[in-house]
Amino acid sequence: MSDPQAPVPGPSASPTATNRLWGGRVARGPAAIMEQINASIGFDRRLYAQDIAASKAHCQMLVRQNIIPAADGDAILAGLDHVLAEIESGGFAFKTEHEDIHMNVEARLAALIGPAAGRLHTARSRNDQVATDFRLWLRDAIDQLDGALRALQAALIAKAELHVDAVLPGLTHLQPAQPVSFGHHLLAYVEMIGRDRGRFADCRRRLNESPLGAAALAGTPYPIDRDLTARLLGFDRPAANSLDAVSDRDFALEFLAAASILAVHLSRFAEELVYWVSTAVGFISLSDAFTTGSSIMPQKRNPDAAELVRAKSGRVIGALAGLLIVLKGLPLAYSKDMQEDKEPVFECVDSLALCLAATTGMVEDMTVSAARMRQAATAGFTTATDLADYLVTNLGLPFRAAHHVTGRLVKLAEERGVTLDALPLDALQSVEPRLTDAVYAELTVEASMGRRTSYGGTAPERVRAALRAARERFL
Ligand code: ARG
């Protein structure tokens, strides 16, 4: 099943054994191809720990409610622990004929403890079981992702603290706009990641309801205690509607939506890394640890990790689109289509874990060339806005008039091939006679940056305060 090279058996191949767990009705076993398309054990084995935890909670509840005998309950609990140990030691034989993780575990339990194992499935169905397992799994995955997101924020903040005074040419339309602190720029990503963490936390809050006890779709006549199983599994409450409980996959969609936005953030940052590290730009460099060579061009240092982070967003967004399409038009309640919910989520979690680790690694690894950044920040007339502001503040010009005067000075500087602050005073005065020497101090990139002290602005004193606040808010 998990071997892509395995030949697909023809439709006539027909194993003889009927399925022991649901085969009472059927006279003969499924066609091999039926078994193959039906089986999910190739991927849902990843749910084993959650499946066993949910079974243990269910079993405890069945005993507590006098639905199954305590002695059978004890045997089941011990047997489930045994199965768990077998799986974790690598000694468990997953079988395609047992279809999925739920039946693999139960079949092994039956082999270990005999007929008492058959009592475990009282008052539940694989429909509520899989919904429970998957929520538990995703809850853990979100907690792990949150740790990785926090680590990325920590790396960004630490790097930003080192480079508050480094002047980066801030861009709009990829054109030089205004000088900004490199630390300020990195802090923008800290904010984005902070919102990502918030979205995952929201998703976690809403997913934390227990489907267990919804049974196949309608609830159960047994006197179960859904509050107890919910509590035992760390859920906030049981899901209120049995039909919704077994058919809802909003939690997976919400997760993939939040994941897609995160992947887009990582992709944007990765693109900046690729740009900054390029030879033409050279604002940062990455060590051999995060670059690769070329098999033909000996001089190359390619930012492959950043490029792959940039690209992986495609998979994550694809996972969201894919699952939306799987679920679209599905009637209540459970349909087997829903078995297709797991692989996109698993793959997305794996991709994000990899991308986050690589991105954090690159942030820690990067060496910043403040001199190259400053040089680029002084080109492109990035302090033209400051000159206009100076004309407004010191000479009382309306901003539109100041904008016009500055535009003429930029044109003059362009014609002479110099920066604004390299225009001699007589040239400045040829456009605006009231300008004096005092203007030059205002035209440096440091002065420009330092003046932007508004809340959320790039002045280094602001950025230092923002860094302190970010540590408080996020770390
Ligand atoms: N492997 C199934 C899934 O992932 C479990 C639920 C099967 N339920 C059923 N009625 N066949 O969705």
The enclosing H or E element of 117 equals none
Atom of ligand 1 nearest to the CA of 134: 4
> Rounded to an integer, what distance in angstroms lies between the CA atom of residue 171 and that of residue 190?
19
279: CB partners within 8 A, 6+ apart: none
Q: How confident is the model over 416-443, as pLDDT tens digits?
A: 999 998 999 999 999 999 999 999 998 9
Q: How confident is the model over 350-380, as pLDDT tens digits?
A: 999 999 999 999 999 999 999 999 999 998 8
Nearest CA to ligand 1 atom 3: 339
- Average pLDDT score over residue span 302-324: 97
Q: How confident is the model over 94-148, as pLDDT tens digits?
A: 999 999 999 999 999 999 999 999 999 999 999 999 999 999 999 999 999 999 9
Please count the residues of the chain. Answer: 475
Long-range Cβ pairs for the range 191-198 (8 Å, 24+) = 192/265, 193/149, 193/152, 193/153, 193/156, 193/262, 193/265, 193/474, 194/153, 194/473, 194/474, 195/261, 196/149, 196/258, 196/261, 196/262, 196/265, 197/146, 197/149, 197/150, 197/474
**Structural tokens at position 256:** 């993939």
- Point out the catalytic residue in the list 12, 89, 173, 454: 173
Q: Is 294 a catalytic residue?
A: yes
Task: Give ligand 1 pocket residues (Cβ under 6 A).
Answer: 40, 44, 100, 126-127, 130, 334, 336, 338-339
Q: How far is CA 40 from the centre of its chain?
A: 25
Which candidate, 105, 97, 48, 47, places its Cα nearest to that of 76? 105
Q: Is 185 a catalytic residue?
A: no
pTM reported for the whole predicted model: 0.92
- Point out the catalytic residue in the list 294, 335, 403, 454: 294
Phi, psi of 418 (to 5 degrees): -130, 170
Q: How confident is the model over 1-53, as pLDDT tens digits?
A: 344 444 444 444 444 456 667 777 777 788 999 999 999 999 999 999 999 99
Considering the chain, what percentage of its residues have pLDDT values greater than 90? 90
